[in-house]
Amino acid sequence: MNSILETSVTDCHPANVPDYTPLPQFRDLQLKRLQAVVTRAWRHVKLFQSRLAERGIAPDDIRSLDDIAKLPFTEKSDLRDTYPFGLFASPMKDVVRLHVSSGTTGKPIVVAYTKEDVEVWTSVIVRCLAGCGLHRGDIVQNAYGYGLFTGGLGAHYGAEALGATVVPTSGGNADRQIMLLKDFGVTAICCTPTYFLHLIDRAAEMGVDLRELPLRAGVFGAEPWTESMRRHIESKSSLEAFDIYGLSEIIGPGVACECRRHNGLHIFEDHFYPEIVDPATGAPLPDGSEGELVLTTFSKLAMPMIRYRTRDITMLLPGQCECGRTIRRMGRIGRRSDDMLIIRGINVFPSQVESALLQIEGTLPNYQIILTREQGLDQMEVQVEVTPQMFNDKIGALQGLHERLQGALDHVLGIRVKVALVEAYTLERSQGKAKRVIDRRTA
């Protein structure tokens, strides 16, 4: 069983990590780890044991990587139903850390780490940051929230292990964040992309030009964001923006991250095995097909996750990245299978609204979707902030902008929505994740 813990923090030099291992050798390692984690979960997690028994499967039935499809899925509801410690595979004396992820409804979920789990987590963050071109000597401002949320501490340990200087600002207090970025000569920032948008706005108000700072990398995650948002961020600052992916149920940030080719996110699949399945049927789909990402943790000891349904929609990209890494890449998460809005029977994703807005000159990348129901009919209003110049301009310019936005949204969404232009910086700015949708419809 200890073979699953071969990777320790000290092994993270690019020459030692398995990112470049030839594929056949790599698949052998993955099969051994899959067999080990299935055996571990079967021995120590009652729910998993009973689900295998229902299917008449034993750990010995896993003879190839494809056999993973025989195993039952784990859902977010399983974590809630077994709250707080029902899915732990280690005794509490071996658990060194607990994190809690707040859900939108009901009980939160609890995730646990042994000392070895924290080391694996640290090692994958090192690989993420190294892939972004960061190294010893960089000054990393970590503006992910510290505490029960996995973002802050996850990124923190990895950045320290990389040898960087960490400035643990956590979230909030934008003025101080900007002061430290400037005064400390910070070279990299980790935060949610919407929080960085907030910093861009605030810096402009404070008369600080983020394009003149030595910032060279932004590692943005914890929520989906778009290519248009990348262009906006990179045009307003000196940094190169990287997408990092992760979720508490699997480990926290560090499941996957872009390299400097920005051509998908490399998944550290020696620890997190990805599958894409049809969200409706659960049937496995081949690389290159879009579907729901399902992840299995190979090395998690405290709380192994077998075939965890992330609800994130993406695809595994065929072919190898130009950077030379052999580990697979996934496309950027554009949407989730469960944040879909149904408006008058039409499926609408907030990301579609965002990409339509970002194509139109004169708007800021801040918007809110308000859903109401009038006489049984769903109504959707999109409130969009416009640039101060645009608002001070003649009324005709605003009317023209309104028409262009209306046209773009009608075209993208296929339904008529109400567009409202609001003054810059009047929509609520989030410190963490963006609240894009306000649903006032009652059943």
Nearest approach in angstroms of CB 134 to Zn ion is 15
Helix locations, 284-394, DSSP H: 350-358, 388-392
Q: Which of 122, 99, 121 is nearest to 109 (CA)?
A: 99
> Running DSSP on this structure, what letter comes out for residue 393?
S
Q: Between 227 and 339, name the residue whose CB sits nearer to Zn ion.
A: 227
Nearest approach in angstroms of CB 321 to Zn ion is 3
Q: Between 127 and 325, name the residue whose CB sits nearer to Zn ion.
A: 325
Question: Binding mask 280-319 vs Zn ion (x if CB under 5 A, - otherwise)?
Answer: ----------------------------------------
User: Given the rule CB under 5 A, which of 56-64, 75-83, 257-265, 404-412 is the region that contacts Zn ion?
Assistant: 257-265
Nearest approach in angstroms of CB 362 to Zn ion is 36
d(C-alpha 334, C-alpha 157), whole Å? 28
d(C-alpha 27, C-alpha 22), whole Å? 9
Nearest approach in angstroms of CB 34 to Zn ion is 24
User: Given the rule CB under 5 A, which of 121-129, 159-167, 258-266, 387-395 is the region that contacts Zn ion?
Assistant: 258-266
> Running DSSP on this structure, what letter comes out for residue 359?
T
Q: Between 37 and 321, name the residue whose CB sits nearer to Zn ion.
A: 321
Under rule CB under 5 A, how many of the chain's residues touch Zn ion? 5
Nearest approach in angstroms of CB 259 to Zn ion is 3
d(C-alpha 260, C-alpha 192), whole Å? 19
Q: Between 19 and 292, name the residue whose CB sits nearer to Zn ion.
A: 19
User: Given the rule CB under 5 A, which of 33-41, 216-224, 236-244, 260-268 is the region that contacts Zn ion?
Assistant: 260-268
Token pair in block for residue 72: 């039952």
Q: Between 88 and 242, name the residue whose CB sits nearer to Zn ion.
A: 242
- What residues between 316 and 355 interact with Zn ion by CB under 5 A? 321, 323, 325
Q: Between 156 and 328, name the residue whose CB sits nearer to Zn ion.
A: 328
For tokens 């993973």, name the residue: 68
Helix and strand numbers, DSSP H then E, in the chain: 11, 22
DSSP result, 113-173: EEHHHHHHHHHHHHHHHHHTT--TT-EEEE-SPPSSSHHHHHHHHHHHHHTPEEE---S--
Q: Cis omega (within 30 of 0) on the bond before 18?
A: no
Q: Between 22 and 56, name the residue whose CB sits nearer to Zn ion.
A: 22
Token pair in block for residue 428: 């609520």
> Running DSSP on this structure, what letter comes out for residue 31?
H
Nearest approach in angstroms of CB 289 to Zn ion is 21
Q: Between 263 and 337, name the residue whose CB sits nearer to Zn ion.
A: 263
User: Given the rule CB under 5 A, which of 181-189, 254-262, 356-364, 369-377 is the region that contacts Zn ion?
Assistant: 254-262
Cα distances (angstroms) measured from residue 348 to each of 371, 414, 416: 12, 9, 12
Question: With the CA atoms of 385, 387, 393 and 397 taken in that order, what torsion angle do they form, in degrees rounded to the nearest 10?
Answer: -60
* Binding of Zn ion by 267 (CB under 5 A): no
Nearest approach in angstroms of CB 393 to Zn ion is 44
Q: Between 240 and 292, name the residue whose CB sits nearer to Zn ion.
A: 240
Answer for which of 31, 41, 159, 259 binds Zn ion (CB under 5 A) is 259
Nearest approach in angstroms of CB 257 to Zn ion is 10
d(C-alpha 407, C-alpha 241), whole Å? 30
Nearest approach in angstroms of CB 120 to Zn ion is 21
3-state helix/strand/coil string of 76-103 = HHHHHHCCCCCCCCCCHHHEEEEEEECC
Interface positions with Zn ion (CB under 5 A) = 259, 261, 321, 323, 325
